[in-house]
Amino acid sequence: MISKVYIDQAVTDSPAAQSILKRLDREDVQVVANRQELERHLQTASDPIGQGKQTLFLTENKGPFIKKCPGTKSYICCGYQILNIGTYCTMDCSYCILQAYFHPPVLQYFVNQERLFEELDELLGREPVPFHRIGTGEFTDSLIWEPWTGLSRKLVLRFSEQERMVLELKTKTADVRNFEGLPHNKKTVMAWSVNPSRIIQREERRTSSIRARLEAAAHCERWGYPLAFHFDPLILYDGWEDDYRRLIGDIFQSVSPENVVWVSLGSFRFMPSLKPIVQDRFPQSKIIYGEFITGLDGKMRYFKPLRIHLYKQIVAWIREVAPQVGIYFCMEDESVWEKTLGMVPQRVGGLPRMLDEWAARHCGIKIG
């Protein structure tokens, strides 16, 4: 999978970097002075986006590891905290915004993890200790790094030792062997991005099948982990109704609704700069040719009546089999919430408060 490894000369002596290189068992590692030197190497590739998915760059994070989700003005944000362990992904989804977000994109992994854990300790050392929902799956997939790093396993153990933070590991993979037998104390939510098999086969290259993802979720449930599922992006196509209804049934036949902390819904949206990339790299894909308008955030979104109809159907099918599961929208406005769920988060304390309460109920978290 990894065709080339680069290492920042500033971290060549890092124990974490040396451990990764040992696991990769690579001798053709190239030391570079900075990211610009790495970019010059990648610019010669015929498909720099695809090449970046096979190019690993070990470096240090010079900024904070923990950041607030930037959200989007005019849309309701969940108040998530991003734990930035690295960037980009080995998988290759046609709709992935990271293709247009990083220039050039590259598998960048931060090895100065001592500071990462120092930041976590600093959060826990504050008085009063704040409550946080933290996840590593914003700029990368949470679990693709496990074969080389084992970082998520370390994070699970660290989060298990406290009562005020929840870690969410979100993935499209299915290898969860590293998480068996860990004393997680229900402070880690194992989460999967889900879509029907038709979308996975057409649009999600090198990801695990939906069957494998649900089998992994069932394993994690047996090991006592709380679970979550993210229907994002929901995609409209001929036959979507039957496929998504079947998928929802499969999910809740695989795991118990009582162990699902939350389900998020988000319809397909994209920056205009992504369209030519999809046309070039995924010429068979039709997802960018739907009925889109420019949203308040400048992204292309399905026409609002289409989104509302889509959400109403998904919510109804989930309620049929899991009536008590918490459902929320990722980056939608108040009118969509009102017309789809019959409520607006601000009237009940805000979306972050809702999610905090769901986490408290499933993960033994103290809030308030």
Give me the residues paired with residue 274 across strands. none
Residue 73 is assigned to a structural domain of this protein? yes
**pLDDT score at 15:** 93
Distances (CA, A) of 81 to 152, 159, 168, 247, 258: 16, 14, 10, 29, 25
Residue 317 has pLDDT above 80, yes or no: yes
Residue 345 is assigned to a structural domain of this protein? yes
For 350-367, write each residue's pLDDT tens digit.
999 999 999 999 998 877
Residue 65 is assigned to a structural domain of this protein? yes
Looking at residue 137, which CATH number applies to its domain?
A: 3.80.30.30
The structural domain count of the chain equals 1
Residue 134 banded pLDDT, cuts 50, 70, 90: very high
**pLDDT score at 129:** 67
Domain span at residue 141 reads 61-103+112-363
Residue 220 is assigned to a structural domain of this protein? yes
**Average pLDDT score over residue span 213-217:** 98
**Average pLDDT score over residue span 294-313:** 96
Residue 15 is assigned to a structural domain of this protein? no
Euclidean distance between CA atoms 131 and 110, whole angstroms: 25
For 19-31, write each residue's pLDDT tens digit.
999 999 877 899 9
For 249-289, write each residue's pLDDT tens digit.
999 999 999 999 999 999 999 999 999 999 999 999 999 99
Position with higher pLDDT, 104 vs 189:
189
Q: Please, what is the average pLDDT of the chain?
A: 93
For 64-119, write each residue's pLDDT tens digit.
999 988 777 779 988 889 999 999 999 999 999 999 887 768 899 999 999 999 99
For 158-167, write each residue's pLDDT tens digit.
999 998 899 9
Residue 307 is assigned to a structural domain of this protein? yes
Residue 135 has pLDDT above 90, yes or no: yes
**pLDDT score at 36:** 78
Residue 242 is assigned to a structural domain of this protein? yes
Residue 49 is assigned to a structural domain of this protein? no
**Average pLDDT score over residue span 132-151:** 93
Distances (CA, A) of 314 to 231, 248, 263, 319: 9, 8, 11, 9
Residue 368 banded pLDDT, cuts 50, 70, 90: low
pTM (2 decimals)?
0.96
**pLDDT score at 69:** 83
Residue 197 has pLDDT above 80, yes or no: yes
**pLDDT score at 104:** 66
**pLDDT score at 72:** 74
Q: How many CB atoms lie within 10 A of CB 133?
A: 23
